[in-house]
Structure 1
Amino acid sequence: MKRVSVDIGGTFTDCVVAWGDQRVESKAPTTHHDLTEGFMEALTAGAEKIDLSVETVLSDVDSVRYGTTLGTNALIERTGERVGLITTKGHEDTIRIGRGRQYGDGLSIEDQADIPGADRPDPIVPSDYRYGIRERVDYKGDVLLEADREEIREVVNSLVDDGVRAIAVVLLNSTVNPVHELLVEEIVNQEYPSNVLGSTPVVLSHRVTGKNGEYMRSNATVINAYLHRIMREGLQDMQSVLRDHGYEKPLQLVHNTSGMAQLGKTYAIQTMHAGPVAGLGAAQQLADELDDENLITTDMGGTSFDIGAVTEGEVSLYEYEPIIDRWLINIPMVYMKTIGAGGGSILGYNSAEDVITVGPESAGSDPGPACYNRGGRRATVTDVDVVLGYLNPDYFWGGELELEERLARRAVRRDIAEPMDVSVEEAAAAARQVVDTKMAQTMFNEISLQGYDPRNFSILSYGGAGPTHACGYAEELDVEKVIVPPFSPVLSAAGAGNLDQMHMYEQSVYLELFDGEGQTYFDDYEQFNDVVATLQDKGRRDLLDEGYSADRIQHTVECDLKYGVQLQTTTARSPVETIDDREDLLRLLKAFRDSYGDNFGDEAHMPSSDINLITIRVQSYVEQPRMEYTSTGDAAALTDGAGTPDTGRSRSCYFGGEFVETPVHRFTEMGTGAVDGPAIVEHPETTIVVNDGWTFDRTPAGVSYLRRQ
C-alpha cells in the first residue's frame, strides 16, 4: 500500500503517509490564504520522514486522499458565488419562508430559547435573484403544464444581466420527473456556452438529492451552487500543484457519508465536515482492533471539539436532515456534534454573568494563540495549558514551534485574571475547568439523548489537544478508561486513508407495505425493486467511471419507514436487496420493527397500524485495503523496551489546586511500563496529561491507556 491522506483543520494540516510497511505522520500550520501551501508543507515533512522526495512519493503513490475545508470556510465567511434561483412559479420565497422553527436552525440551545431576539438567516439568494417559471409536474411525475422555452430563456438572460455566476434550479416534483430541470440546463448551455460566459454552473436539484421536501432540497441545491466556483478553483489549483510534482491520478475527496470519491464525482456539499467524519471511520476500525465496541470519540484540535460514538462496533448514526451553518438540508451525513472548544479557542470573561467564556471564535494558525508569538494577543486554551505547565515550550510540535510562556501569561492576565481579580494561575485553572466541563456536558447530552449511559463507554481521545484534556473531561463524565490511539494527533487524516470508495443515492417513494385496517401486505414487488435497481445503477456507473471492475462493487439497501401518519421515520437496513416474495417483505418489516424497538422501546410498537415506506437509499461501494492502526509493524510502535525509563525530566505543573514538581516522560523513549499520575507524557505532536488518581500505560504498538485508579 502506498497512500497519502491529508486532513486540513482550522489550525493544523495533518498528513499520514502509508508507504509499504512504513506509516508516518506529519503536521504543518494551515495556510488559510492558500490551503495548497500547508498541504504541500505537511506532505513534504511526511516524505522526509521516509527519506523520499515529494516528487518520488507523488509519482508512485496509489492515491492522494484529501479532507478539504474549502466549502466549510467559504460558507462561514460568506465568500461564495452570486447565485440565481429558478423555481416553479409561486414558490420563489420557499427558502425565505423556511420550515417550522427555522430561526433556530444552527443556533446554540441558549440562542434557540431567545424567541423574541431570534432572527431567520438571510437567504443565500436574495429575492432579486429568485425567478419562477410556469410549469407543473405532479407527484407521480406526470407533466400537467409544459414549461415554456421562451420564458425560461428570458429568465436566464435576466439572471445573467444581474451578474449571477451560478444558477440553482429547483422545480416541484423534479425528483420523480426532471424533464423541466433538464430543459433549463439545455437552454442555459445554448444561450451561454462556455466560450461565451465561462464555466457557469447549472446545479439541478434532482442530481443533488432524490428526496422530496422543497425547502431542504432548495437549500442543498443553492449551497452547492454557491460553493461551486471556490471549490472548483481551489481543488483545480490543488490538482495542478500535485501534477507539477508528479501526481497524475485523480484527487480523491473525503465525503461526509464516511466514504471517498474522485473529485469529478463530488458535490461541494458532500465535503462539509468530512474531516471529523474520517476520524470517526478510524474509530470504528479501532473499536474492532482493540475489541472495545462502545467508544465515545473526541477530536480536540486547534479550532473545535468534535464528538461522535461507536456503539456495538458500528457508526450507525446518520443525520438524514442535517443542518449546515443555518440551513436545514436533506443530504445524508454521518452525525457528529461540534463545539468551539479547541486549543485555539479564545477565552474571555463575561462580567455581567460572572462566567468565563470559551469560543466559538478561534485564533487559528494565523495569528494563533498568544504563546505562538505570531501576533495573537487574546488568551486561548493553549495559553492556559502553557501557564499551568502542561505544555513544554521547547518541545511543542516536536520542538518545531517554540512557545512564549511570557506572552501566554500576559494574555491570560489581561483577558481573565484582571477582570476576575484573581492571580494568573487561578484564572488559568478556572478557565481549564470551564473548558473540560463544557466538553463533558456536551458529551453527556449527545450520548444520553441517544439512549446510552456514558459510563458504559470508553473515551477515544485524539486530535492535537485531546490527550491534554482527556482526564479532565473523563472525570466529569465518571468514565473509567481513556484510549489514546496511534496516530492520535492526525487520526482524521489516518481515517481518510482507510475509507472505502462509496456513493450514496436515495429516492423518495410512498409505498404502503402493510395495511393495518385491512391486514394486507404490499405485493407490487417490482415497484420497490425498480427503484433499488435505478439507485444501484447510478452508484455502479460512478464506480465504473472511477476505474473499478464490476465484480468488486457491492451495495447495501436502507429504508426509511414509519407507522401510519407518524412524522418520525425510522431507518432500517434491508436484509434483502430485492423483494421477491412475501418472506422477503416480512424480513424487511422485521428489520423496521427491530430498529423501531431499539430507538423507542418495544412497548411503543403499533401492531395494528399501517407501515409506510418513505425513502429507499442505496450505498454502492468498493472495499479498499486498510492499514492496521495497532499493528506492531507500524511506525506507531516506537519502542519495544520493557519498563519505563527514569528520564530525570520534571517541571512544575498545576495539580490538585497547586503547582507540584511533576515527572515528564518522552513517549518515544518509553517502554510498556505503567506511570502513575500526576505525570506528563510528551509525544512529538501532542501532550498526554495524567491527572492525579490516573495511571498511564501503553502497548508495544503505541496504544496508550489512561485508567482511573
Structure 2
Amino acid sequence: MIKIGVDVGGTFTDLILEKGNEPDSSNKEVFVHKVSSTPSDQSIGVLKGIKEICNKASVKPSEVDLIVHGTTVATNITLEHNGAEVGMITTKGFRDILHIGRHKRPHNFSLQFDVPWQSTPLVKRRNRISVSERVLPPTGKVEISLNEDEVREAAELLKSRGIKSIVICFLFAFLNDSHEKRAKEIILDVIPDAYVSTSSEVANVMREYERFSTTAMNAYVGPKVALYLKNLESKFSNEGISAKLRIMQSNGGVSTAEACSKEAVTILMSGLAGGIIGGRYSGGLSGVKNILTVDIGGTSADLSTIPNGEIKIMNPRDTYVGEYPVLTPMIDMMTLGAGGGSIAYIDEGGHFRVGPQSAGAEPGPVCYGNGGTQPTVTDAQVVLGRLDPDQFLGGDLKIDYDLAYKAIREKIADPLGINVIEAALGIIRIMNSNMALAIRANSVAKGYDPRDFSLMPFGGAGPLNGVALAKEICAKEVVVPPAPGITAAIGLLATDMRYEFTRSVPTVISTAEQSDFDRINNVIETLKEQCAHRLMSDGVEESKHEYSYIAECRYEGQGFELRAEISNGILNKDSLVEVEENFHKQHEQDYGWRFDEVGVQIVTIRVIGSAKSEPVQWPRLKEAETEQPNQAVMYSRDTIFDDGEKYDTPRYDRNKLLSGHKLQGPAIIMQHNSTTLIPKGYTAEVHSYGNIHISETLT
C-alpha cells in the first residue's frame, strides 16, 4: 500500500510517502519532501509535491492508494475575510444575535477597539431575514408553526441578490429541528444549487449566539472549501490519481472530502492539527509521553501541550477563529505570528519588534533574493552563521548572506545604533521570548509544569530555537523528531478517521430520575447511529468502529463545560457517580480546585465514532559502533550562538547519524528539511528511531 501525507503551510508544503506491504512493517520505506506553497491556489503546490515525491520514491502517482491532506484553505478565508456572501433565515426577533454577541469588549480599557463580529460580520444585516416560528424549551414543543410562505419569500429575496450560501438558525432548534429541516427543503426548492447550513446539522447544542456564529462560519467558508476540494479531486483525476482523499479535521481525526465540503467548519484548524498528532507520534518513538510541541514554520508557530500522550481538546469557551466563536471540537493549541518569515521592524514608538507580519512564501525572507526587503528571523539566522547559504534545503535553495546582512543593518542595526550581530541576536531573542510566553500560557496556566515535559521543536525553523526555548521555560530536555520539517505531514499518516455528533440535554445530576436516564440514553444511541452511518458511508466496516462517550458538564451556575467520560456509554445511577467524579478531576486539573459539595449539571452529550488506521512505520536506525559520529562530519564554520560568542562549529549530516551516536555542542546537525542547533554545554544523543535528545552536559 502506498500512502501520502501532504500538509500545506504558509511558506512550504510538506510531504511524506510510505510504501510497502501492509501486514509486514519490516519492508516499508519512507520518503519525505518539501516544496514551496502556492498561496494563490494551494492545489498547484500539492499536486507538484505529490508528483515529485512519487518520482523520488520510484512510484507512479496512479499507484498511490491514500492521500491525507492538511489544508489552511478554511483558516485563510476566515483571517482574510474573503468568504461567501451569506444569507440568513432566523426566528422573528432574533435577527441581530450575530451583531449583539455576548456584549464582550475585546479590549476592556480601550476607547478605540474594533468589534470584529460587528465591523466584519459573517452575515450582513440586510441579508438576515426573520420568519415566524417558535419552539419552546425544555421539551421542544412547537408554540408557533413555521410560516412556510415567509420562508419562501425570504429565499426568493436572497436569490434575487445572488446569494447562494444560506444559513438557517432557529431558536431552540437543538431541542426540535423540524422547522429547520422544512425551511431547508423550501430553500433548495427555490435555489436548487444553494449551499445550505442548518444549526441543527452544524452545531446541535445550546447557546444561540455561538450556535448561530458556528453555522454562519460554515456557510461563510463552505463554498470556497467545497470548490477547492472539488478542484483538487478533479486535478487528481486528470493526472490519473485514483487514491482515496482524506482531510485532516480540527479535532485531530480525518474525514472524507465530501463530508468536509458540507461541514467546512470542522477543518478550520486542519493545517495545524497534523503537527500536534505528529509530535505525539514522534515522542512515542522514544517512549516520551509528556511533550510540549512547538511547530515553527515560515509564517507562524503552533504550540500545544500533550500530557501523558493524550491530545487535549480545547474548552468550548476558547474555540475562536479570527475572533468568531466556533463550537466545533479543536485540538488545544495556540498560534502566534512567529516563524522563519516573521518580519523584524522598528515601530512608530521606536520599539524593536518581531512579527506577527510575515514575508510568507512570496517574496519570502530577504536572503531568498525574490524581492523581499524587510529583514526576517531567517535572515538573522543566516547572518549569525546558523544557516549556510550553500546548504539551505540541502542546497536546493540558494540564499544570499549579503542581502540578509544589508537588510538587518539598514532596517534594524543602524536605526538602533547597534551592530548587525547584536541586531540579529535581538531578532532571535524577541521571537523566543514571545514563544516562551505562549508556551507558559498553554502549559503553566492550564495546570502543567514544563519541568515535567520534553520540548519537541519541529517545522523548518523549530530545531534552531529548541534549546533556547527549553532553557527559557525550564523544560527537562529537547527532543528533535527524525524529520522535523515535515512532522506535521507525518501526523497526517498517524491519525484515525473520526466523527463527532452532539446534542444538548441539560440535566442536573443530583435530581436525575429514571426518565432523565432514558432520555439521555436515547440521545446517546441516536448519536452513535449517526457516527456509524457516517463511518459506513466512508467504507469502514462495522467491526472496526470504535466509540467514545462524553458528558460535557459544569457546576450549577457556571458558564461553560468540561468533558467527563461516560466509560460504558450508558448512563444510570452507578455510571452517573463516575461521570461526576471525572468532571471533578478535570475541573481540578484545569483550575486547581474542585467543589464536591456543589451540584453538577450535564449540558451536552457528545459521541465520537472513530476507525483506527495503521500509522506510518518509521524505520529504525542502525546501531553505531562507537559514540563518536566522525563519519557524519561535513565541515566546520564560524557560528554565533545566543551567548554572543563565535565558535568554530562542526556540521553533521543527519542522514549519517546512527543510533547511539553522541554529539557535544557547539554543533549543527543538517538535513534537507531542517537544521538543529546544539549550543556549547549541551549533549545530543541519537535514539533508535532517529529522535535526537538534547540536554545539558553533565559535569
| TM-score, with length taken from structure 1 | 0.93
- 1:84 corresponds to 2:87: yes
Matched-pair contact (CA < 8 Å) for 1:645–1:669: no
1:524 alignment partner, SS class: helix
Change in 2 beyond 3 A, CA 1:376/1:133: same
1:708 counterpart letter in structure 2:
E
- Partners in 2 of 1:524 and 1:648 — Cα distance? 70
- Partners in 2 of 1:287 and 1:167 — Cα distance? 44
Q: 1:433-512 residue pairs with structure 2 within 5 A?
A: 433-512=429-508
Matched-pair contact (CA < 8 Å) for 2:295–2:459: yes
- 1:708 corresponds to 2:699: no
| CA deviation string 1:84-121 (max 9, x = no partner) | 111111111111111142x42xxxxxxx3543221211
- 1:212 corresponds to 2:206: yes
1:652 counterpart letter in structure 2:
D
Q: 2:683 aligns with which of 686, 690, 695?
A: 695
Q: 2:230 aligns with which of 233, 236, 240?
A: 236
Matched-pair contact (CA < 8 Å) for 1:76–1:325: yes
Name the residue aligned to 2:14. 14
2:124 counterpart letter in structure 1:
P
Name the residue aligned to 1:555. 547
Q: 1:63-74 residue pairs with structure 2 within 5 A?
A: 63-74=66-77
- 1:35 corresponds to 2:42: yes
Change in 2 beyond 3 A, CA 1:269/1:423: same
- 1:567 corresponds to 2:559: yes
1:486 alignment partner, SS class: coil
- 1:327 corresponds to 2:324: yes
Cα shift at 1:567: 2.5
Q: 2:114 aligns with which of 107, 111, 119?
A: 119
Cα shift at 1:75: 1.7
- Partners in 1 of 2:54 and 2:242 — Cα distance? 18
- Partners in 1 of 2:6 and 2:625 — Cα distance? 31
Change in 2 beyond 3 A, CA 1:651/1:472: same
- Partners in 1 of 2:295 and 2:123 — Cα distance? 34
- 1:625 corresponds to 2:611: no
Change in 2 beyond 3 A, CA 1:36/1:550: same
Name the residue aligned to 2:629. 644
Cα shift at 1:541: 0.3
Name the residue aligned to 1:259. 253
Cα shift at 1:522: 5.7
2:423 alignment partner, SS class: helix
1:591 alignment partner, SS class: helix
Change in 2 beyond 3 A, CA 1:269/1:648: closer
| CA deviation string 1:294-351 (max 9, x = no partner) | 1101100111111101102211342324001011121121110011000011111136
| CA deviation string 1:606-653 (max 9, x = no partner) | 32x332110100100111111244x41xxxx48856431163611111
- Partners in 1 of 2:585 and 2:667 — Cα distance? 47
- Partners in 2 of 1:87 and 1:650 — Cα distance? 68
Q: 2:653 aligns with which of 647, 657, 666?
A: 666
- Partners in 1 of 2:18 and 2:578 — Cα distance? 42
- Partners in 2 of 1:113 and 1:454 — Cα distance? 31
| CA deviation string 1:5-39 (max 9, x = no partner) | 11000000001101110111100000111211211
Cα shift at 1:393: 0.8
- Partners in 2 of 1:690 and 1:283 — Cα distance? 20
| CA deviation string 1:247-274 (max 9, x = no partner) | 2344211001110110111211111122
Cα shift at 1:694: 1.2
Matched-pair contact (CA < 8 Å) for 1:638–1:701: no
| CA deviation string 1:130-165 (max 9, x = no partner) | 111111011221111112121111111111222323
Name the residue aligned to 2:129. 131
Name the residue aligned to 1:686. 674
1:9 counterpart letter in structure 2:
G
| CA deviation string 1:555-577 (max 9, x = no partner) | 10011112222324231111120
Name the residue aligned to 1:589. 580
Cα shift at 1:670: 2.9
- 1:377 corresponds to 2:377: no
Matched-pair contact (CA < 8 Å) for 1:679–1:690: yes
2:616 alignment partner, SS class: coil
1:18 counterpart letter in structure 2:
E
Q: 2:100 aligns with which of 70, 94, 97?
A: 97
Cα shift at 1:129: 1.0
Change in 2 beyond 3 A, CA 1:554/1:673: closer
Name the residue aligned to 2:215. 221
Change in 2 beyond 3 A, CA 1:670/1:625: closer
Matched-pair contact (CA < 8 Å) for 2:366–2:375: yes
Name the residue aligned to 2:335. 338
- 1:577 corresponds to 2:569: yes
The worse-fitting range, judged by mean Cα deviation, of 218-227 and 275-284 is 275-284
The worse-fitting range, judged by mean Cα deviation, of 271-280 and 669-678 is 669-678
Matched-pair contact (CA < 8 Å) for 1:639–1:669: no
- Partners in 2 of 1:673 and 1:189 — Cα distance? 65
- Partners in 2 of 1:696 and 1:391 — Cα distance? 19
1:335 alignment partner, SS class: coil
The worse-fitting range, judged by mean Cα deviation, of 130-139 and 243-252 is 243-252
Cα shift at 1:463: 0.5
1:659 counterpart letter in structure 2:
K
1:116 counterpart letter in structure 2:
L
Matched-pair contact (CA < 8 Å) for 1:373–1:403: yes
Matched-pair contact (CA < 8 Å) for 1:638–1:668: no
- Partners in 2 of 1:583 and 1:606 — Cα distance? 17
| TM-score, with length taken from structure 2 | 0.94
Cα shift at 1:49: 2.1
Cα shift at 1:692: 1.8
Q: 2:664 aligns with which of 656, 668, 676?
A: 676
Name the residue aligned to 2:164. 165
Cα shift at 1:487: 2.3
- Partners in 1 of 2:405 and 2:234 — Cα distance? 44
Q: 1:333-412 residue pairs with structure 2 within 5 A?
A: 333-350=330-347, 352=349, 354-412=350-408
Name the residue aligned to 2:190. 191
2:637 counterpart letter in structure 1:
R
Give the root-mean-square deviation of aligned CA atoms: 1.8
2:29 counterpart letter in structure 1:
Q
Matched-pair contact (CA < 8 Å) for 1:351–1:419: no
| CA deviation string 1:437-496 (max 9, x = no partner) | 111121122211111221221101111100011111112112231001122111111101
- 1:50 corresponds to 2:64: no
Name the residue aligned to 1:196. none
Cα shift at 1:501: 0.7
Name the residue aligned to 1:108. none
Change in 2 beyond 3 A, CA 1:601/1:380: closer
- Partners in 2 of 1:38 and 1:76 — Cα distance? 21
1:475 alignment partner, SS class: helix
Matched-pair contact (CA < 8 Å) for 1:639–1:670: no
Cα shift at 1:586: 2.5
Cα shift at 1:543: 0.5
Matched-pair contact (CA < 8 Å) for 2:276–2:293: yes
1:576 counterpart letter in structure 2:
N
2:443 alignment partner, SS class: helix
What are structure 1's unaligned runs of at least 5 residues? 105-111, 194-198
> Equivalent pairs: percent with the same residue?
29
Cα shift at 1:285: 2.9
The worse-fitting range, judged by mean Cα deviation, of 200-209 and 181-190 is 181-190
Change in 2 beyond 3 A, CA 1:599/1:521: farther
